[in-house]
Chain A
Amino acid sequence: MAEQTLNIPQLLVFIVVTVLAVRWYFSKPAGAGTRPAAATRATPRISQAQIDQISQMFPQVERRSIAWELSRNGGNVTAVTEKILSGRALETPPVSFQIPTPRTNTPSRTATPVAKAEQPDLITRYNLASKISKAPESASEEQSKSKAWSQDRNERQSNLQKRREEMILAARRKLEEKEKAKAKA
């Protein structure tokens, strides 16, 4: 079927491509000395994000192979993805090849949630540092008073804020006492 529709220009293109491919293939092992230079020249084009992207899709494929493939095709993520999807094995990178940045063994996905950006604690968030040592008696009085609904908007706002602060400070005091009791025991 394909042979029937093949014409001469197509045939020529095919031959040229084949010749180039064969030449390129055979020139590789010969230039062992020049390859590291070639690799480093190519590497700036690939980024960790690209490797990560593919690595997350195909965790079974080695990151080094992905990086090597990317560095050879100029950082084309789609092409690498298609190659893996089509079932062709990625070429094993030469020993001299190194992934651009030394962040090669990134933490596995399971570890990342624990190590993510930290949230500020409640004392910092609500600016309570100065109120930590305040006596609790007066505070509980205030709390019962502030439970009522006020007609005044500003009073409502400050009541709500008081209730929030009291809730956090009470929790902190309770936990502190518990910790102390535990330390004594």
Chain B
Amino acid sequence: MAATGSRRLFKEYRSLSSDPPEGITAGPIDEEDMFLWEALIQGPEGTPFEGGVFPAELKFPKDYPLAPPKMKFLVDVWHPNVYTNGEVCISILHPPGDDPLHYEKASERWSPVQSVEKILISVMSMLAEPNDESPANVDAARMWREKREEYEDIVRKNVKKSLGL
């Protein structure tokens, strides 16, 4: 099982390295352990995240690609769909059949046909367009809804701080 997972991750690593999507760098921290990756995501343009680079850790389960990885930002990300500990909460990271409230369509959720690349692209677009329906960070969600300027201010400050400026 683990061999299938690491073979698949290796293939994904190769395609992400030879043809990286715009603004994304991802790969295992050490090839000894293919189940722990680190990714860098660029903040999408035209959003307060623009100009920032956001590192995140991806932890793959041993039965990947049957189950999705867990993703956690390693810098402060003030966003309705990111927990204060950095964990990302979006539908593509949820296994199908895990959602009793039916917030998400099954097609949006994790399945073996998805990939690391698709996750990272989804996270990038999540930064641009938060999903207000099931927030992971309630305070950020409220601020995003009611005091957009204050929200964008915090995001920009975090970007500057994370780049050491």
Contacts and interface: CB of A to CB of B under 8 A. Distances in A.
B165 A163 contact: no
B164 interface: yes
Contacts of A42: none
Interface residues of A, number: 30
B69 interface: no
Nearest to A149: B18
B17 A116 contact: no
Interface residues of B, number: 31
Contacts of A121: 75, 161-164
Contacts of B76: 118-119
Contacts of A172: 163-165
A164 to B, nearest CB: 5
Identify whether the interface residues of A are mostly helix, strand, loop, or mixed: helix
A114 B40 CA distance: 23
B53 A176 contact: no
Interface in B8-44: 14, 17-18, 20, 25, 27, 30-31, 38, 40, 42
A149 B51 contact: no
A171 B163 contact: yes
B137 A122 contact: no
Contacts of B162: 119, 121-122
A75 to B, nearest CB: 29
Interface of A: 110, 113-114, 116, 118-119, 121-125, 147-149, 153, 156-157, 159-160, 163-164, 167-168, 171-172, 174-176, 178-179
**Nearest 5 A/B pairs, CB to CB:** A123-B164, A121-B164, A149-B18, A113-B84, A160-B27
